[in-house]
Structures are given as C-alpha cells and as structure tokens.
Amino acid sequence: MTEQEFIEELQKLNITLTQTQINQFHIYADFLQKYNEHTNLTAIKTLEDIYLKHFYDSLTLTKIINLDQGKLLDIGTGAGFPGLVLAITYPKLQVTLVDSNNKKITFLKECLKLLKIANVNIISDRAENYTRTHREEYDYVTSRAVAQLRILIELGIPSLKINQYLIAMKSHSEDEVADSQIALQKLNCQIVDQINFDLPNNAGYRTLIKIIKNQETPSIYPRTYDKIKKKI
C-alpha cells in the first residue's frame, strides 16, 4: 500500500487526514524502517507493508468504535500499534502506550520527539503491573495480536471505566472467544460486538472484538502473569 493508497483507503473508513498528519505518518514510517535496520522491532520492513499492515490495520479499529476523544490504553504496544497510530489520527484522544520491552520503549520515545505530538504517555512496565495500579481510569483499552483473549481480558478490563470498552484486534478468534467465557464472567464484562473483514490487497483476515465492562472488577484481578496464563 502506497502512501496515497493509505490516504484513499482511510477515506473509506471516514478518516480524512490533514497534511500535518500525512507528514507525521511519513516521518513515522521512515523512522521505523531505518530503526529496523539496526534494531529488530518488527518483521514488516517495507514502506508499503508498514502503511498497510501497521498503519491501516491499526486504524481498522474505527470500524467498531468511535475514538474521537477520551483516554485509551494500548497494552503491548510494541512499536506503537495501534496506539501511536491512533494518537496521530485523533489528537483529542489521550493515549497511554504500555510495553515491557526496553528497546521498543526507546524507539517510541525517540519517535515521539520526531512526531511532535503531545497526547501520548509512554510506560515501560508489564501490563498486569500497570493495570493493577491504574484501575477504572480508561475509556478504551486495546491490544493488537498480543495475547489470547482470556488473558487480554484479565490484563485490560481492570483499567477500564464501567460501561466502557476493550477492543481486541485479532486474526481468527473462534477458539479464543469460546475459551474466554469464564474470564468474561469473573471480570464482569461481556462481548457486545464482533466484526470480521479482510485487509486490502489480500493482506490478511481480521477480527475486532468489542467487550463492555458492566461492573467494577474484583480486586484480585489482574493476578500475576504466571497465574493469568492458567485458566481461571
């Protein structure tokens, strides 16, 4: 996907970028590609794939939720997907990026200086540590291809405000949805929407799962990660 194709495909998602935002995405893509030459951040290395499989893919989140403003937590953000992409696109959205990988945190901090945007907070920590101490703080929690759905629910739901949403970005997810039913019940949340679609240019199948938090999360969650990996 070229930069121009990226701009045109976003218009189909009702996203119109300003010239400043177009320039920011250009800076982001160029910096990611050059940084990848000496530090392995992502297996996706060409500019065309960065625009399609990172930038466009991140923004498909808007197929299932309106993100114009509010507070968003991106768990396991890696090189900023989807969180930093969303922060560029929605300047009124306050975005927190959490990752425990120091080389990715270093990249994000350097990239943020180049992008010159102020609506991003970068946290170097494990997700379960961060959400344990930042409870019911966020309007949205998201994560792209980080963990099984039942694990992501326990990592993310504690930081959500009641009646707000966790959006899981997946490829195929039928088994994960079936396996998450106990976690949904224990953490007082439920799946309210799920959509499936193909990326342009036959680039892959995607699923977005929208989960609402119905009640306060029991204080025992999230547990330590070794316990989270085990079924509740």
pLDDT at 76: 96
Confidence check: pLDDT of 42 > 90: no
Please give the domain boundaries of the chain with CATH numbers for all domains: 67-228 (3.40.50.150)
Asked if residue 184 lies in contact with residue 156, where contact means CB atoms within 8 angstroms, the answer is no
Weakest mean pLDDT among 56-60, 143-147, 207-211: 143-147
For residue 44, pLDDT beyond 90? no
Report the alpha-carbon distance of residue 128 to residue 151 in Å, rounded: 10
Token pair, residue 18, equals: 């300003």
Res 157 pLDDT > 80: yes
Indicate whether 125 pLDDT > 80: yes
Indicate whether this model's pTM tops 0.85. Answer: yes
Who contacts 198 (Cβ-Cβ below 8 Å, separation ≥6)?
A: 204, 205, 206
Q: What confidence score (pLDDT) does residue 100 get?
A: 96
Give residue 170's pLDDT: 93
Q: Tell me, what's the pLDDT at 214?
A: 98
Burial (CB < 10 A; 0-12, 13-18, 19+), residue 212, is middle
Q: Over the stretch 51-108, which tens digit does the pLDDT of each residue have?
A: 999 999 999 999 999 998 999 999 999 999 999 999 999 999 999 999 999 999 999 9
Closest by Cα among 92, 57, 81, 17 to 207:
57
CA distance linking residue 105 with residue 78, whole number of Å:
8
Percent of the chain whose pLDDT exceeds 90? 90
Strands 205-213 and 70-75: unpaired
More confident residue, 4 or 231: 4
